[in-house]
Chain A
């Protein structure tokens, strides 16, 4: 009969209306500033720089290879390479960035910088409350603002960070084994004339 569907619909909405006062489960709204839901692990917003250890400047994994700067589609990364070198996590002497700026007003969160980085130095953050009243300086993050500890990385993307750590550990072990072998070989050939210095970080 005409109007039956309308009555059914009206009953449904009436059920919703009164039900929402009775059962809290019906209301799916999260009242954001007061209430929040934990971020999904795969959530990504803008990139940050990972550092190991306590000192952000010494522990920065970035070696200023500038691959990310070249690959960045909107060209929002600005890197200045250092003149001197400092040891990286395996002890090899590497350049480091004297300037590493990301203009997050330009960044489009594509994650390409993360994918091309051979040193696991740049990763995606899930921090999204970045509002500022200065749209030029306030959104141009320098390396200090971008630096986040490896522990922080573990806290936001645990699975991914463990994989990265395992990979780095493996590489480090490989390098150490190689160095050890080289040292043993050197010790064995102690009598022989001076051997060439062992090259650390094979395959770089």
Chain B
């Protein structure tokens, strides 16, 4: 009994801490103060996680390429993010003379704000959500879509051909994959019957035996997770979908004309959106803050949430270290000819799953449909066009 109350307290430690702090204020101010504290926690914790991810990425990609990675600043180079931050802060802030100064200044701020807004509805633990919105998922996706605005603001206001090209590419890519991203979350909403992220987690937070009822362990969930991961990678402009940045083609894409701290904000926002999309993936398909086995439920929920996020961030880094950048046409073909039809079919499979009732039959049917569709669409939709050697009609 004593241990269970201890684990329960540990699970809710941040809530208890908040209530204790807020308790010193008059009752009128308490709700507002609670929200402010929550916002401060979000603004403090996730950039901290960003620093961890940066060092993880630089070391991880280094190891993937058989290098050491940064190892000079501090023990094992662990203080590298601090050095990077100082460097970014003391750099000169250069704005092109003919740029649209106001929009140029606003673009990184819009990006950072919209990215942070997404965290507001993300449950990072049991009862640990800043705003428990009924349409949390919708809000999250709307905020994710607003980052496109910032990309275009940055590209357009810079008056630079590389920025413009990067922004055009970015918009094309993000709008294409936005469709996939939204459609791949629909099966979850269909099954859970709610757009509220806390209720989606609650629907997954039960066990048969020791195994959890996470949506990834269903055929439609696995397919949806695959599509969601692909779309999430594209949405956050991560390699292999980093076409908007394309440093070997168009300098740095839409943030070519940004330097110093404004560039750092783009950098932070990119990683924060990675973290938030990882958090959403964990929430929708990996049971959010719930433990992977029923006997591990004594470990605090927020530890599970952050472990899942860090695990999926590691996959992001792993993919970045493996795959080269796609061409623009490959990117578009992949989105519209393969992932989108696949997610649409996944909606049908989810409906079948919903109405076929319990039993092994629905497993067989939905797995068969999805596997057949994957193979078939992979063959037909992604068929390579054989161009062959170039032939010259008039020269030679």
Contact = CB atoms under 8 A, between A and B. Distances in A.
A159 interface: no
B66 A13 contact: no
A190 to B, nearest CB: 79
Interface string A2-20: 1100100110111011011
A1 B379 CA distance: 7
Nearest to B319: A10
Contacts of A28: 66
A135 interface: no
Nearest to B226: A3
Q: Please name the 10 residue pairs, one residue from A and one from B, whose CB atoms are nearest each other, closest first.
A: A2-B378, A13-B322, A13-B64, A9-B322, A26-B66, A20-B63, A17-B63, A17-B64, A13-B321, A20-B66
Contacts of B67: 20, 27, 29
A6 B68 contact: no
Nearest to B314: A17
Given A6-B322, A9-B322, A1 B66 contact: no
16 contacts: A2-B338, A2-B374, A2-B377, A2-B379, A3-B378, A10-B318, A13-B64, A13-B318, A13-B322, A17-B64, A17-B318, A17-B321, A21-B63, A26-B66, A27-B68, A28-B66
Interface in B276-324: 318-319, 321-323
A26 B62 CA distance: 12
A27 to B, nearest CB: 6
Interface of A: 1-3, 6, 9-10, 12-14, 16-17, 19-21, 26-29, 31
B15 to A, nearest CB: 38
Given A2-B378, A2-B382, A3-B378, A10 B66 contact: no
B65 interface: yes
A9 B374 contact: no
Interface residues on B, range: 10 to 19
Name the prevailing secondary structure of the B interface residues: helix
B318 A16 contact: no
A14 B68 CA distance: 15
A1 B64 contact: no
Contacts of B321: 13, 17
Interface string B20-63: 00000000000000000000000000000000000000001001
Given A6-B323, A9-B323, A14-B318, A1 B63 contact: no
A59 B377 CA distance: 82
Given A10-B318, A14-B318, 17 more contacts: A2-B375, A2-B382, A3-B378, A6-B322, A6-B323, A10-B319, A13-B64, A13-B321, A16-B65, A16-B66, A17-B60, A17-B318, A20-B63, A21-B63, A26-B66, A27-B67, A27-B68
A1 B382 CA distance: 10
Nearest to A8: B322
A146 to B, nearest CB: 34
Contacts of A16: 63-66
B322 A29 contact: no
A4 to B, nearest CB: 9
Interface string B65-106: 111100000000000000000000000000000000000000
A1 B323 contact: no
A26 B318 CA distance: 18
Nearest to A7: B322
Contacts of A29: 67-68
Contacts of B375: 1-2
A129 B121 CA distance: 56
A18 to B, nearest CB: 8
Contacts of A10: 318-319, 322
Nearest to B375: A1
Contact of A27 (B64, B66, B318, B374): B66
A28 B65 CA distance: 10
A181 to B, nearest CB: 67
Contacts of B323: 6, 9
B191 to A, nearest CB: 25
Contact of B378 (A1, A9, A21): A1
Nearest to A18: B63
B343 to A, nearest CB: 15
Contacts of B382: 2
A16 to B, nearest CB: 5
Contacts of A3: 378
A9 B318 CA distance: 10
A27 B377 CA distance: 41
A31 B68 CA distance: 9
A28 B374 CA distance: 41
A19 B338 CA distance: 35
A1 B66 CA distance: 29
A54 B65 CA distance: 50
Contacts of B374: 1-2
Nearest to A3: B378
Interface in B308-362: 318-319, 321-323, 338
A144 B342 CA distance: 77
Interface in B345-396: 374-375, 377-379, 382
Contacts of B378: 1-3
